[in-house]
Every structure is written in structure tokens, then in C-alpha cells.
Amino acid sequence: MNKNNPLKPLKQAELLETLKNLGIVDNPNWTGLLLFIRNLIYYFSSLKEEQKANLQKKLLAFFAEKDFSLGKFFTALLVLENGLLENCREKLIQTQRRLEEEKKINSQIVAEIEDILNSLKNNFIPQNQQLKTFQDKTIATIEKNPNPRDLITFIKKEVTTIIENNQKEALKWEKKAKMLEEKARYDHLLDNLFNRSVFDRYIKETAPALIKSGRKLSLLMIDIDHFKSINDKWGHLIGDDVLRAAAKIIKSHADVSSGLACRYGGEEIAVILEDLNEKEAYLRAEALRLDINRYQFVPRQEDGKTTSPIHFSVSIGVAEVAPSDLPEDLIGKADKALYAAKSGGRNQVKCYSEIACDLKK
């Protein structure tokens, strides 16, 4: 099995030859299992490449034993079922946590919107009062002083005051609107990174024009190594703190290159780099990896005491868009490079150009 990818689907001739060699041509149970783990799993979008490869490895071990009894079949089926359930369980936990976090931030935004609406309602009262005062003063001035020149001077002064007051209010509302807009753009957990919607919007709206113009565009896909182990050992609160620490370092490196750093999903972070080719992006990625490698995260317990530092690393996939690529192709390339970095031992940077030849085999 190629260490960088799950096995590709069996073609018809290859399938028949494999079934003959294993002696299971007339065994529908084992034939179905082989087709499932070799052909169907390959196309699963719900599983990462690494998860597909690991599941294939476990199940193909049963075929290597060449014990095709019914008992072995049910054992293999149990391994398959547990593997799929475990992967689904991880996704469900991540989804649940993300929904809880989004619910929290959405509640905050709703509360702020309600506050703004209430302020707007209350703001109409002084504005109406101001207009009523202007009306009364104007009538009184006309009655006391019928001179048109004096009347015009008075009206100019009063109108200027009203406009200035409204301008101050407008600036205040503009500031509040910008604050709400910024809150909606940033990630609810990693508030120094943009959220996934900003990334998707860039890929959909900005990237096509940039590619068409012939400018360079690269992408870093970054994943914290063994993040699940950190969560299992230290708990999700410490895990979130580790993620925040990594995000802060990633953001500082992205800013140096005028990059767009976004939380892509879970512990995965994407950095879009304009006007940099793959080699240049690789150098940035390697500098980032080394910086994170040197970082020592010291967790704090509930009693305020510190424990021994947690050392963590990242794997990074780097890819550059080709002139004939769609923007979505860049994501696929960077994701494959990331998988190669993880399956190759982690704590390293891999470029798509390095693995492209292997993928075509």
C-alpha cells in the first residue's frame, strides 16, 4: 500500500485475478468485503485519506491470513463497523462542539443586535424632540423678527446643529455595524483567525480573477499533529488553548507575508498566500513549522498552578495553483500534500509537486 494514499479501486480484470488468487471467486461475502474496502471506501468524502488507508490496512490483513471462514468474516465485519463508527463518532463530537461554540457566539451577536435595535428606538425620541424644538423656535423667531435675513441666519445655525448631531449618531452606528461585521467574519474560538466562510468566499470570489490575471497563488494546509491525543490526555479546554497558541503563531507568520489565515475546520488551519509560488510558500511554511516546534505551551490547572510544558508540532501541505486549475483544485492539492506530510511521519512540510508523480502511478 502506498503510504501516502489509500489503495486505488480495483479494475475488473484486476478484481477477477485477485479473487482467483485468494480462492474466493464463489464467496459473495468476502468478495463484497473486498470491493467495499478497495473500491467504495476510496470514494468516501466523509473519511480523510489517512483514515481510509488505516481502515484498508486493518481489513486487508484478514485477506493476507487467507482464512475465509464465516467466523473470520464476521470478525472482519466488526472491525470495519467499529472503524466507521469511530470515525463518525469523532466527526459528531467535533460537530457538536462547533455547534455549541457557534450557538454561543450567535447568542452574543443576537444580544448585540437587540441592543442596537433598542438604541435605535430610543434614538428616535430625542431626534423627534429636536425637530419639534426646531419647529417651535422657527415659529417664535418669525413672530418676533420678520426680517428674512435674520430668519435665514437662524435657520442655517439650527440646521447645522441638527446635521452635526446626526452625523455623530451616524458615525456611532457605523462603528457598531463594523464591529458586528468583524465578529461575524472571525472564528468563534480562534478570534485572531478568519472563519471558514471568509475562506470559502475568497476561493469563490477572489481567487478566480487572480488566477485569470496570471498572478501566483499558493495555499498552506496546516494540521496540529496528534491533536486528539492532546485532547484525550489534557482535556478539550487545554486542547482549545493549544489550538489558540498555534493559531496565534500561524497568524503572525501569515501577516509577515500578507497572507489570509483562516480556520478551515477542527484543528486544521489554511493560509492563502498571494504572489508566492510553491517554493516561496514552502520556505514560509518551514519557518512556521520550526517556530511552532520551538514553542513550549505551559497549561494552567484550575487552581492556577502550571504543569510541565506541552510540546506540539504541525504538518503542513503546500500547493501552488496552476494556470489551468480551478480555485477548488488548489485545496485538493494542498490537502493531498498535507496527508503526505502526516503519513510520512508528521512534523514536516510537503509540497504537492513532490508527490504529484506518485499520485499518478
- Whether residue 329 contacts residue 321, with contact meaning beta carbons closer than 8 Å, is answered with yes
Q: Report CA 153 to chain centroid distance, whole Å.
A: 60
Among 267, 268, 280, 286, the one annotated catalytic: 267
- Backbone φ, ψ for residue 259 (5° rounding): -85, 160
Please give the Cα distance from 262 to 190 (Å, whole number): 9
Please give the Cα distance from 319 to 216 (Å, whole number): 11
- Extract the C-alpha cell encoding 347: 512534523
3-state secondary structure of 310: strand
- Extract the C-alpha cell encoding 205: 470570489
Residue in the block written with cell 468476502: 30
Is residue 267 flagged as an active site residue? Answer: yes
Please give the Cα distance from 275 to 149 (Å, whole number): 63
For the chain, how are helix, strand and coil distributed in percent, rounded to 5? 70, 10, 20
Quote the strand ranges of the chain, DSSP E. Answer: 217-224, 260-265, 268-274, 314-320, 349-351
- Extract the C-alpha cell encoding 255: 501577516
Please give the Cα distance from 221 to 192 (Å, whole number): 17
Tell me, letter by letter, the H, E, C secondary structure of 189-214: CCCCCECHHHHHHHHHHHHHHHHHCC
- Whether residue 69 contacts residue 44, with contact meaning beta carbons closer than 8 Å, is answered with no
Closest C-alpha to 203, from 92, 322, 331: 331
3-state secondary structure of 101: helix
Closest C-alpha to 315, from 349, 290, 271: 349
Please give the Cα distance from 208 to 219 (Å, whole number): 14
Which residues carry out catalysis? 267
